[in-house]
Amino acid sequence: MPLLEKLTKHYDRDEAELLINGENYIVTLNDMRSLSLAEELELSDELLGEIAFRDEKLRCMKKALSAVGRTTTSRRQLFLKLRRNFSDDAINASLDNLEKIGYLNDADTAKRYAELYATKKRYGKSRISAELFKKGYNREDISAALEELSVPEDEKQENISALLDKKFRNKTFDKRKAYAYLRGMGYDGSEIKSALDNYCEDDSDEEIMFD
């Protein structure tokens, strides 16, 4: 039967280091207490399995905390990153803890990304939605982020004009190419028509059917 040969408490980092049959495990002090761990304790296979899971969960939690400290991420993105090294159960338990203590909040970060895409990238709403989906946000959080996003009409028109200036700098302006480009940037037909009407002064350009 496995034997807990040595138990070292690290109060400075709230952890307990375990030596079990020559192998090292690390659990939280709370885990140590809840599992009633002590030196020279003989461990059942079930208890050893639980210790191994708590060890994995703690390592996963540390990795997840490091990741959210470096960049803004969605739960889905973080899950896929952690899956390279940890089990699904350990990942989900760790991410649940991060959400509980406020380190992971998809609803909040989706809104922050939406604002960033609108102001810095000058994306329209459909492009913002696509970018958020690629980052792993669910449709509910995306919908809430877009609903809260408010871009004044004059600012929207300025954004489109800036995009066109950049796109056609030192190039011949082409209204059809401009329309296709702006659709790709996430604007709908009515937004584009209004912007092009303001942007173009040459009425001789070929008429475009806007949807």
Q: What is the pLDDT of residues 176-210, one digit of tens each?
A: 999 999 999 999 999 999 888 888 754 444 444 44
Domain residues of the chain, as ranges?
A: 3-100, 106-148, 153-199
Q: Name the pTM for this structure.
A: 0.81
User: pLDDT at position 198, please?
Assistant: 83
Q: What is the pLDDT of residues 57-79, one digit of tens each?
A: 999 999 999 999 888 899 999 99
Question: CATH number of 3-100: 1.10.10.10, 3.90.1150.10, 3.20.20.210, 3.40.50.300?
Answer: 1.10.10.10
User: pLDDT at position 46, please?
Assistant: 96
Chain-wide mean pLDDT for the chain?
A: 92
Burial 44-67 (b: 16+ CB within 10 A, else e): eeebbebbebbbbbbbbbebbbeb
Q: What is the pLDDT of residues 118-161, one digit of tens each?
A: 999 999 999 999 999 999 999 999 999 999 999 898 899 899 99
